[in-house]
Amino acid sequence: MHITQAHCQALDQQDTLAPLRDQFSLPEGVIYLDGNSLGAQPKAAPARAQQVITEEWGVGLIRSWNTAGWFDLPQRLGNKLAKLIGANDGEVVVTDTTSINLFKVLAAALRQQEAKAPTKRVIVSERRNFPTDLYIAQGLIEQLHAHGAPAYQLRLIDSPEELHGALGDDVAVVMLTHVNYQTGYMYNMADTTRAVHQHGALTVWDLAHSAGAVPVALNDANADYAVGCTYKYLNGGPGSPAFLWVNAKHQDAFWQPLSGWWGHARPFAMEPGYQPHQGISRYLCGTQPITSLAMVECGLDTFGQTSMTALREKSLGLTTLFMELVQQECSDHPLTLITPTDPAIRGSQVSYEHPQGFAVVQALIDRGVIPDYREPRIMRFGFTPLYTSFEDVWHAVAILKDILDSKSWDQPQFHRRGAVT
Ligand SMILES: *Cc1c(COP(=O)(O)O)cnc(C)c1O
């Protein structure tokens, strides 16, 4: 079937999620395909930020820790977020960054294993995992070894198919990103967790590209630990605090190592000795960035008006349409699709390699289509069903075709690199 603009318009007319776009502030003339890196701004966010600054801080002052609900915001937002990832109340906190949360849960998972099976000294992950995940594991391994523990080893697989071969009785923890940031490949969480458990290992899932993008069922999968971002598909704002989930059966097993006062059983008793809080609150460390944290709620509230099932259906519609249109319009250009075409194993992004990927992405941004670029040669297009339309996909591909056909990407300004790509 030849896909036309009218076909895309018809898809928009049938789309029951289309009205949700109006809840986001998107600049005129921009097709935003980078919600997987920084989500768009919910229209409710500026007013909420204003309220926190003017009323809660300006007038309420210190009283707002109690009267404006600042103190239990990590748990209250965690309960809202839990619904999107198949978790229950009391299992999630919104706090710190994904990198820091990963350090906390990885350390807790290793402690838990050390008590039971001290000969397990391997952490399995993927070479193509987001680098901070690997760096955090390396830093923790360094730290533990420096304090005299037998060394842990990071075992990296080169593709998801190698996972089963990497599992053995020496494996303590398998730390994977559910949806890969480069390729968009998505693991089957339940099957993978089952295989990991058969070897007596624990799972740490990074949901940075899953939360708000695909349905996640942490408890159904019997997963162990999870972390993720709120500034990507959850639209929490630049640098908004991340989240952390621990299976209820592990929550009280060990302390996490960043044993700050917010994780204490009685923070305001001001006792000299640390005693961990029961439950998920022990995963907090110190005082939270309240303005930024408060805005996470604006992003979460838009999800309250729909379901992950409906969002997933539209997301697959958008990514399938994009792949088909690129095939139809740009097949004589050197674009290599690196995202699985099988909907069961892909997230909400589509990635292509192109020898001049960086310059092509800059030329797209110049024309108002915003995807992003990741080394090496990867052009990444994120689709966010809350605010992306089918006609956006049509226009994005038409502009991509024009840039490739005309080679307009080959201008000096499109080869210049900034600090952030
Ligand atoms: C975006 C992303 C992060 C980011 O971590 P920060 O601590 O927020 O900088 C971590 N892991 C993965 C898999 C990501 O995609």
Both structure tokens of 312: 């997933």
CA dihedral 26, 32, 34, 39 (to 10 degrees): 20
From 37, 38, 181, the mutation candidate for ligand 1 (largest count of ligand atoms within 8 A of CB) is 181
Instruction: Give catalytic status of residue 104 as yes or no.
Output: no
Q: How far is the CA of 136 from the centre of ligand 1 (A)?
A: 11
Q: What percentage of the chain reaches a pLDDT higher than 90?
A: 97
Over residues 149-159, the mean pLDDT reads 95
Distance CA 311, CA 214 (A): 8
Residue 149 has pLDDT above 90, yes or no: no
Both structure tokens of 117: 């099976």
Q: What is the residue-averaged pLDDT of the chain?
A: 97
pLDDT digits (tens, 9 = 90+) for 56-113: 999 999 999 999 999 999 999 999 999 999 999 999 999 999 999 999 999 999 999 9
What is the pLDDT at residue 420? 85
CA 190 remoteness from chain centre: 18
Atom of ligand 1 nearest to the CA of 177: 13
pLDDT digits (tens, 9 = 90+) for 260-274: 999 999 999 999 999
Catalytic residue among 231, 233, 283, 322: 231
pLDDT digits (tens, 9 = 90+) for 177-197: 999 999 999 999 999 999 999
Catalytic residue among 128, 380, 381, 383: 380
Distance CA 263, CA 6 (A): 56
Residues 6+ apart with CB under 8 A from 84: 211, 212, 216, 234, 300, 303, 308
Write 190-199 long-range contacts (CB < 8 A, 24+).
190/217, 190/220, 190/221, 190/222, 192/163, 193/221, 193/222, 193/223, 193/224, 194/222, 195/163, 195/164, 195/167, 196/167, 196/171, 197/222, 198/167, 199/167, 199/168, 199/169, 199/171
Ligand 1 neighbour 38 (Cβ under 6 A): no
Q: Whose CA is nearest to atom 2 of ligand 1?
A: 208
SS (H, E, C) the chain: CCCCHHHHHHHHHHCCCHHHHHHEECCCCCEECCCCCCCCEECHHHHHHHHHHHHHHCCCHHHHHHHCCCCCHHHHHHHHHHCCCCCCCCCEEECCCHHHHHHHHHHHHHHHHHHHCCCCCEEEEECCCCHHHHHHHHHHHHHHHHCCCCCCEEEEECCHHHHHHHCCCCEEEEEEECECCCCCEECCHHHHHHHHHHCCCEEEEECCCCCCCCCCCCCCCCCCEEEECCCCCCCCCCCCCCEEEECCCCCCCCCCCCCCHHHECCHHHCCCCCCECCHHHHHCCCCCCHHHHHHHHHHHHHHCCCCHHHHHHHHHHHHHHHHHHHHHHHCCCCCEECCCCCHHHECCEEEEECCCHHHHHHHHHHCCEECEEECCCEEEEECCCCCCCHHHHHHHHHHHHHHHHHCCCCCHHHHCCCCCC
Instruction: Give catalytic status of residue 380 as yes or no.
Output: yes
Ligand 1 neighbour 176 (Cβ under 6 A): no
Q: What percentage of the chain reaches a pLDDT higher than 70?
A: 100
Ligand 1 neighbour 291 (Cβ under 6 A): no
pLDDT digits (tens, 9 = 90+) for 328-355: 999 999 999 999 999 999 999 999 999 9
Ligand 1 neighbour 374 (Cβ under 6 A): no
What is the pLDDT at residue 22? 97
What is the pLDDT at residue 37? 97
Instruction: Give catalytic status of residue 206 as yes or no.
Output: yes
What is the pLDDT at residue 137? 98
Residues 6+ apart with CB under 8 A from 268: none
Q: Which amino acid is at 83?
A: K
Over residues 294-318, the mean pLDDT reads 97
- Structure pTM? 0.97
What is the pLDDT at residue 138? 98
Ligand 1 neighbour 125 (Cβ under 6 A): no
- Cα 112 to Cα 192, 224, 253, 287, 399, distances in angstroms: 20, 11, 7, 27, 52
Atom of ligand 1 nearest to the CA of 133: 11
Residue 148 has pLDDT above 90, yes or no: no
CA angle in degrees (0–180, nearest 5) for 129-325-353: 35
**Nearest alpha-carbon partner for 184 in 347, 378, 372:** 347
Over residues 209-237, the mean pLDDT reads 98
**Nearest alpha-carbon partner for 178 in 349, 421, 374:** 349
What is the pLDDT at residue 147? 86
pLDDT digits (tens, 9 = 90+) for 363-411: 999 999 999 999 999 999 999 999 999 999 999 999 999 999 999 999 9
